[in-house]
Amino acid sequence: MPVVRASDAVTHEIHGARFISYATPLTGSKELCAWRGEIPAGTKAPVHTVNREEIFHLLDGELLITLDGRTERIAAGDTLIINPGATLGVENPTDRTAVSWVTTSIGLEAELADGSRITPPWAN
């Protein structure tokens, strides 16, 4: 039985946010990956388009989410369903870190507005 201990999770930092990966092929997952995201106060991630469905659950804090041009404030306990091909922007306009849990399928890629692609190591 694969158990990923908190002390064994791998931390990645990109665009001012921290991603702590738990479920990946390296930890025994065959289809899904999952990570905890920490979005510090004042962080505004670049807008990106995803190639896989993501389930984004906000554990703590508040965020402004722009999904396909529509912006909404979400709060702890809210869940977003981000479909493949959707364009996503995440901003933390508050004075404290927001914490999320994200699950998606292995192979997630994000395309930035400038056309560059990111293959997040915590999602592959």
Per-residue model confidence as pLDDT tens digits over 44-94: 999 999 999 999 999 999 999 999 999 999 999 999 999 999 999 999 999
48: its two tokens: 């990106």
CATH number of this structure's domain 10-118: 2.60.120.10
The residue type of 47 is V
Q: Which of 50, 48, 122 is nearest to 83 (CA)?
A: 50
Given a cut of 90, whether residue 13 has pLDDT beyond it is: yes
Query: Given this model, what pLDDT does residue 121 score?
Result: 83
Query: Given this model, what pLDDT does residue 118 score?
Result: 87
Q: Model's pTM, two decimal places?
A: 0.93
Query: Given this model, what pLDDT does residue 66 score?
Result: 97
Given a cut of 70, whether residue 103 has pLDDT beyond it is: yes
Domain boundaries, the chain: 10-118
Query: Given this model, what pLDDT does residue 25 score?
Result: 93
Q: Which of 14, 54, 64, 49 is nearest to 34 (CA)?
A: 54
Between the two ends of the chain, the Cα-to-Cα distance in Å is 20
At 94, give phi and psi (nearest 5°): -90, -175
Given a cut of 80, whether residue 1 has pLDDT beyond it is: no
Burial of 116 (0-12, 13-18, 19+ CB in 10 A): exposed
